[in-house]
Chain A
Amino acid sequence: MLSLSNLSVTFTQYDRGLRRKQLRVITDLNLDVQAGEVVAVVGASGSGKSLLAHALLGILPQNAVMSGTMTFQGEPLTPHRCRLLRGKAIVLIPQSVGYLDPLMTVGPQVQRVAQLTGRTKAAAKTAVKKTFTRYGLPAKTFDLYPFQLSGGMARRVLVSTAVVTPAQLVIADEPTPGLHPDVVSETLTHLRELADAGRGVILITHDIAAALKIADRVAVFYAGTTVEIAAGRDFFTGKLRHPYTQALWRSLPQNEFLPVPGNQPNLEQLPQGCLFKDRCPWVDDLCREERPALRELNDGWVRCFHAEG
Chain B
Amino acid sequence: MLKGDSLWFRYGPQLPWTVQNISLAVAPGEVLGIMAPSGYGKTTIGKLLSGYLPAIKGAVSVNGRSLPQKGYCPVQLVFQNPELAVNPRWRIRQILQEGGKLNLAQLAAFGIHPNWLSRYPHELSGGELQRVAISRILNSATRYIIADEMTAMLDANTQALIWQIVLDFVKKQQIGLVAISHEQRLLERLCDRILNL
Contact = CB atoms under 8 A, between A and B. Distances in A.
Contacts of B182: 178-181
- State which size class the interface on A falls in: 20 to 34
A206 B158 CA distance: 10
A183 B186 CA distance: 18
B185 interface: yes
Q: Quick one: which of A43, A183, A206, A252 has the most chain B CB within 10 A?
A: A206
A102 interface: no
Given A45-B126, A178-B149, A208 B156 contact: yes
A260 B157 contact: yes
A209 B115 CA distance: 33
Nearest to A46: B125
Given A46-B128, A177-B80, A259-B164, A253 B157 contact: no
Given A178-B80, A180-B38, A180-B182, A266 B157 contact: no
A118 interface: no
A43 B149 contact: no
Contacts, number: 85
A257 B37 contact: no
A150 B38 CA distance: 10
Nearest to A151: B38
Contact of B128 (A45, A207, A247): A45
Contact of A261 (B125, B152, B161): B161
Contacts of A181: 182-183
Nearest to A205: B155
A44 interface: yes
Q: Quick one: which of A42, A46, A151, A247 has the most chain B CB within 10 A?
A: A46
Interface residues of B, number: 30
Interface string A209-233: 1000000000000000000000000
Interface in A41-72: 42-46
A254 interface: yes
Contacts of A183: 38
A178 B152 contact: yes
A74 interface: no
B127 interface: yes
Interface in B33-47: 37-39
B120 to A, nearest CB: 13
B37 to A, nearest CB: 7
Interface string A257-286: 111111100100000000000000000000
B155 A45 contact: yes
Interface of B: 37-39, 80, 111, 113, 115, 125-128, 149, 152-161, 163-164, 182-183, 185-186, 188-189
